[in-house]
Amino acid sequence: MIITNLETVPGRTIIEHFGLVQGNTIRAKHIGRDIFAGIKNIFGGELKGYTELLTESREEATQRMIQQAESFGANAIVNVRFSTSSVAQGAAELYAYGTAVRVE
């Protein structure tokens, strides 16, 4: 499955499209990471635990989007956008959406 945030896939032509596909995940951090982040709050710097958590979540959201596209019979998703928002206390929502197409 080709994923791109361009309009088209370079070097290929889009012959068919299936409309919007989307994938989302909501992940909560757990108490351990919370405590560690609290400590890091004093010293500053990258919160590796959270970065890791959000990266995994983004992976999963993308995976779900791909699942939807595959069920349509698409082989590429173009014009992909990501969005992160916080919808619940202590949880981040990762959302990925794009257009499922078939390229040649």
Partner 1 sequence: MIDFAIFLTLLGLGFAFGRYAESRHFVSIIQREKESLHCPVVTLDSYPDMHDKTESTLVTGSVVVSIDYFKRFLAGLRNIFGGRMSSYESLLDRARREAILRMKEAAMEKGAVAVISTRIETSSISKNAAKGSVGSVEVLAYGTALISGGEKAES
Partner 2 sequence: MKYTPKQAPEGINYSQENPLKELVLLLSTATMIIALVVYVLFVSSDILVRFIPFSVEQQLFQQHLVEKELGMDATQAWQDQEAYMQSLVERLQAANGDKSFTFKVHIIDIKTPNAFAFPGGHIGVTPELLNIIESENGLAMVLGHEMGHHYARDPIKGLGKAVLLSMVMYALTGLGNDEFLPSLVGQVSLLGMSRFSQDQERLADKTGKDLLMKVYGHAGGATEFFEKMKDLRDGKQSELSFFETHPPTDERIQSLGQSEHPALVPLPEFVRR
Judged by the rule CB under 8 A, the positions of this chain that interact with partner 2 are: 14-19, 21-24, 64, 67-68, 71-73, 101
Beta bridge partners of 85: 93
Nearest approach in angstroms of CB 11 to partner 1 is 18
Q: Give whichever of 44 and 67 is closer to partner 1, judged by the CB atom.
A: 67
Closest separation in Å from C-beta 59 to partner 1: 13
83 makes contact, choosing from partner 2, partner 1, none, with CB < 5 to 8 Å by partner type, with partner 1
Backbone angles phi, psi at 51, to 5 degrees: -55, -45
Residues that bind partner 1 (CB under 8 A): 7, 17-20, 22, 24-33, 78-81, 83, 85-91, 93, 95, 97-99
